[in-house]
Amino acid sequence: MKKAIVLLSGGMDSATLLWLAKREFDKVWAISFDYGQRHQVELKYAKGLAELAEVEEHIIVKLPIYESIKGSALIDESVEVPSEDYPENEPPITTVPMRNLNFLSIASAFADALEIDHIGIGVHALDTPYPDCRPEFITSAESAINAGSILTAKKKVRIHVWAPFLGMSKREIALLGKELGVPYEKTYSCYRGTEPPCGECPTCRQREEALQGIL
């Protein structure tokens, strides 16, 4: 039986990944994280998406570690979320240190306990300014997970970090989501955390461009 646990933020990319997982796997779990993010409203959308997708279980994990870390616009209220495009050659101010490493590590613990051999993460080509969204990070994280996995050690089952959107544009993800029937109107992507979304931050503008003609 093919099983997957999907990192679900409530945004369009992770929603598309969840719907793709529902097509590709027999059983699907979702996992979301409350890490003190400025746009915590996304968790409300993640819950709604998990219910619509009828996952086996929607796990929500609180990560208080980020209460003590400053400097990222997503977890530090004193740092403003920019309106301009992300820089091309350096991590954006919205980078949260080791966020995906923490997420994958925790998801892998559930994967080990539930004997799930795929962990889904929705990173894509537009995310590459973020160090923990690059292909080399995904490959390294998968190696570390399997080196420490009970499932791998005991049953010789390899846990895969499933990142099918690597190399895809956000527009290509949106078109796939349209084909899969993803309810994009029930997703949320604004880093400022306002309702309605601000429409000005890079994430809002990337979402609008990707979904043009789809919503």
How high is the pLDDT of residue 128? 78
How high is the pLDDT of residue 159? 98
How high is the pLDDT of residue 92? 93
Q: Is 166 exposed, middle or buried (0-12, 13-18, 19+ CB in 10 A)?
A: middle
The sheet with strand 118-120 has its strands ordered as 58-62, 27-34, 3-7, 118-120, 160-162
The full set of domains in the chain, from first to last, is: 3-210 (3.40.50.620)
- Each residue's pLDDT tens digit, 28-74: 999 999 999 999 999 999 999 999 999 999 999 999 999 999 999 99
> How many residues are present in the chain?
215
Within the chain, which residues score under 50 in pLDDT? none
Which residue has 């998406």 as its token pair? 49
3-state secondary structure (DSSP) of residue 124: coil
Quote the CA–CA distance of 30 and 164 in Å, as a whole number. 16
